Chain A
């Protein structure tokens, strides 16, 4: 984790990620439909197009989830950074400053930042557990999906995106 953030919003904002996702899904559906130019040259039979479309949509969904979850992680880390740099007196900011002193730049999202929110905010243990679980999914995606995960629930863009929207608008992030 860098000592200080630039203060600029990293990458695309959530709404742009959603637009990119929905545009890509629509474009793929069009590309793999019989009305697409050269469809019959590209696919020997329509069922092949359906199989390929399904695989492309699944991959697009996973990539979009990763983009949203990394953006969400950035929101938590930027708030952490602000809490460390500010002189705010609230318990969470004080906790963040203590953690920064102790762990320097090796700040962990789960054990340090989410733990702070769990201790010093009104967020329920249930929601923190759900967030931790979603970030396990992000970890699996970011590390090449080389093991068989056990998430205990289905994750896809339709769940991850509204969750991220809810957190970004419902948590009192300052950065």
Chain B
């Protein structure tokens, strides 16, 4: 039994274990799909204004470079409100603890939106690491978080410790006004 555990442990620790081109391609494809999901959500938040013609939006392709994935194109959402131009700018997917980041960018700065596990409420929910002893047993461990099965877009508060709040219409519009200096 211990021999099996040890073999599994050795295998899991090989350089680049599981990091195949197929895995990076899958991550990229998921990330682009998640971006589309965010844009769809945001389009819903501003739908009333879009229908009345007071807000318009469009998309522009951006080139992103990530160390493992390489160079790829991702859509930026451009939101026009009168003379103001606000962007939803994709930043990347390979960010420690996060599955992705998109910034709301305006003349007064930027506010990041992170794609994290739906269960994440604070930074300490992002990563759990345990020490492994020979035989595969864990020691010096902190409680494991639940496995991430669903992901949500969230905004991080500047209160301490940081808290992760679900992106909803109110939080999106409040942060849009913040970067637009409304």
Chain A residues within CB distance 8 Å of chain B: 15, 18-19, 22, 57, 88-92, 117-123, 125-127, 129-131, 133-134, 151-154, 158-159, 161-163, 165-167, 169-172, 174
Contact = CB atoms under 8 A, between A and B. Distances in A.
A39 B16 CA distance: 55
A121 B134 CA distance: 11
Nearest to B103: A158
B162 interface: yes
Contact of A133 (B67, B124, B128, B160): B67
Contacts of A120: 131-133
A166 B127 CA distance: 6
B158 interface: yes
B65 interface: yes
Chain A facing B: main interface SS: helix
B31 to A, nearest CB: 12
A153 B92 contact: yes
Interface stretch (B32-40, B45-53, B79-87, B135-143): B135-143
Nearest to B95: A159
B19 interface: yes
B35 to A, nearest CB: 15
B114 to A, nearest CB: 8
A163 B95 contact: yes
B24 to A, nearest CB: 10
Given A162-B156, A165-B123, A170-B142, 18 more contacts: A90-B131, A90-B139, A92-B140, A119-B13, A122-B128, A123-B127, A125-B19, A126-B94, A133-B67, A151-B67, A154-B91, A159-B91, A159-B95, A162-B123, A162-B126, A166-B123, A170-B128, A171-B127
- Chain B interface residue count: which class? 35 or more
Query: Considering residues A90, A154, A162, A165, which has the most beta carbons from chain B within 10 angstroms of its beta carbon?
Result: A162
A130 B94 contact: yes
A159 B15 CA distance: 26
B124 A165 contact: yes
Interface of B: 13, 15-19, 65-68, 91-92, 94-98, 101, 103, 109-110, 112, 114, 123-124, 126-134, 138-142, 156, 158, 160-162
Contact of A127 (B65, B123, B127): B127
A152 B95 contact: no
Which 10 residue pairs spanning A and B have beta carbons closest together? A152-B67, A169-B124, A170-B127, A165-B123, A166-B126, A130-B96, A172-B140, A166-B97, A166-B123, A158-B112
B129 A172 contact: yes
Nearest to A116: B131
Nearest to A165: B123
B67 A153 contact: yes
Query: Considering residues B95, B109, B138, which has the most beta carbons from chain A within 10 angstroms of its beta carbon?
Result: B95
